[in-house]
Structure 1
Amino acid sequence: MNRWKIVRAFTLGPLLEATVPKPGNVNRHRDFEDLTLYNFLFADTAVVGVYYEAVKTAELLRKGVLSFNEAGLGELIKRAVAASREAQDANPNFGVVALSVPLVMGLALGRNMLDAREKARLLIEESTVRDSMELYRAIRLASPKGIPGGVKYDVYSEESFKELFRDGINLARLAEMSCERELIFCEWLNGYELSYSTFGRLYELIKELPLEEAVVRAFIELLSENLDTLIVRKAGVEEARLVREKARGVLSGELGIEEFDSFMYEKGDLRNPGSLADIMAVALSLLVLRGLRMEVRNGRAWGVIGRP
């Protein structure tokens, strides 16, 4: 698969995700006090060079010049996060980067988009303790909200690197321990199941709805079926469950989209479903890779797959 086709897809996908007015997220109509749409524009374009390097590394893996345990996933994620932080002053895309780097490499390694899932999973399994250490450095750079302290392998503890080394904790083992706290790690373990299913749902919805409406519909469906782990970390599991119930109310017709939108923002960013937004960003990247282009019909942007 063409290098720049992959890089373009995983640049445009997150930009689309950030732009579309989804309930609870920063979008083209709404910012938070400490996070704006411009943070996403600067951050998501800052990582292009690192994604390109990830693709080139994957090509060396495919040729057998490097082995899978030399892929350097952690280093690539850290470099992308550093590039993002150099371009702006917040953390708009750590989750997207952590999801995208293994999948970008999987796409360069695999025979097709489905095979890429298996290749990404193998990269995670064959990762090293150094990858975990570099991931910790990336997390410290990004400084995501709601990271718990006082847990085993505490990301901010000075002893954590010794503990990771002592116990041989690579990215796969780290993901197994952290899946309940962060959706990204579940995706690493299950072959990007939610990202790909969301991509499939978007593929169907854009046949019926304008692009923004299709994305919003798919996102509300995600909210109705999953607890957002960022909301859990910041506001607690009961708040996340309440968001899920409200989303189900929208789908059943019991709650209007405007009312749901107001509910999502009434506590500032506490109900910001950032983990599921990361899933949407990757799903949109896959949709772009599948051939998404846009057409304007009666003043609305429609997503179309394939050439005109």
Structure 2
Amino acid sequence: MRSSAGNAELALLLEVAGTPKPGNVDRHRDLADLCFEHFLAGAVGARDGLELAADGAAVGPAFERAVDGMATQDGGNTQFGALLLLVPLVRAARTELSQPVVEATVEETTVGDAAAFYRAFEHVDVAVADPPDDMAALDVRRGGDAIPELEARGLTLFDVMDRSVPGDDVAREWVRGFDRSFAAAERLAAADGPISDRTAATFLSLLAERPDTLVATRHDEATARSVTDRAAALVEADALETDPSAVEAFAEDLVDRGINPGTTADVTAAGLFIALEHEAIDV
């Protein structure tokens, strides 16, 4: 039987192996600066941090360790957002992997957890939006240099996530009880076929529901909305079953245009972990 840390590592591996995932690295396509092997190495590298969370370590230090390990491969940021979801989920699984327990886990984070989160940005470059003027001193891209201001304001990691919504749907999961992550797990369990196909279908359904906030950050809201509209049309047409070439074309088009719905992939990875922990899918 796999441990929770093992299931989290497996979730990262299954997420990147699912195909097609339009605009994202999968086993059939790479991006200009990231390839399939980088994600495999990132998942393996994150294992020590995931083990810390499974052993009961605080969320912030476990997350920083996971990111540090992830970043040892040559591609850079592969799974930062996914780990920000997985670490508290793994930590919660020590008690019970349910939404109330996960909510309590993130709400109990401390200023120390927030400081570790900021230090994690020193290990890898992460695409984030510019903060409002009154939050400039707390720009996460400042890394450890922002910690004195963080401590002066007494902000916990949950507070930091709360201030990142709207605009960051990984943070939104933290403040909304991981609702999309648990919904993704239910879809994975209800779907038919190999886990790779289920992963692709779940990713596309999530992308069809909400504009991806990473796309909005790197491009603009209109681009993110247009991607969601195209995904919704494919879901409505059941294109993965009736016209898989249309989904493949969508995937290639987004890669060619440098449009990467990475936040949707993060939520998919979280859903895979929940489904694995609940033994709702077999691998």
Instruction: State the TM-score, normalizing by the size of structure 1.
Output: 0.82
Residue 288 (structure 1) aligned to one of 265, 276, 280: 276
Distance 1:191 1:266, change over 3 A: same
- The Cα shift of 1:53 comes to 2.0
Q: Which has the higher contact order (CA 8 A, sep 6+)?
A: 2
Distance 1:242 1:278, change over 3 A: same
Unaligned stretches of 5+ residues in structure 1: 58-70, 295-308
Aligned counterparts, 1:150-161, within 5 A = 151=133, 152=135, 153-157=138-142, 160-161=146-147
Aligned counterparts, 1:9-24, within 5 A = 9-21=7-19, 22-24=21-23
1: CA distance, partners of 2:113 / 2:209? 32
2: CA distance, partners of 1:216 / 1:165? 41
Instruction: Identify the residue that residue 120 of structure 1 maps to in structure 2.
Output: 102
2: CA distance, partners of 1:18 / 1:74? 25
Instruction: Identify the residue that residue 242 of structure 2 maps to in structure 1.
Output: none
Instruction: Identify the residue that residue 162 of structure 2 maps to in structure 1.
Output: 176
Runs of 4+ aligned structure 1 residues displaced above 6 Å come to none
Which residue identity lines up with residue 218 of structure 1 in the other structure? T
1: CA distance, partners of 2:198 / 2:238? 20
State the number of aligned residues.
Answer: 271
Unaligned stretches of 5+ residues in structure 2: 240-245
RMSD of aligned residue pairs (Cα, Å): 2.0
Structure 2 residue 224 is the aligned partner of structure 1 residue 240: yes
- The Cα shift of 1:159 comes to 5.8
Residue 192 (structure 1) aligned to one of 163, 166, 178: 178
**SS of residue matched to 1:142:** coil
2: CA distance, partners of 1:253 / 1:89? 36
Instruction: Identify the residue that residue 272 of structure 1 maps to in structure 2.
Output: 260
Identity %: 27
Structure 2 residue 122 is the aligned partner of structure 1 residue 136: no
Deviations 1:213-269 (A, max 9, x none): 32222211111101111101101111000001111111233983233223322312x
Aligned counterparts, 1:42-191, within 5 A = 42-57=41-56, 71-110=57-96, 113-114=97-98, 117-148=99-130, 151=133, 152=135, 153-157=138-142, 160-191=146-177
1: CA distance, partners of 2:121 / 2:60? 10
Instruction: State the TM-score, normalizing by the size of structure 2.
Output: 0.89
Structure having the higher Rg: 1
Does structure 1 retain, via aligned residues, the 8 Å contact 2:54–2:94?
yes
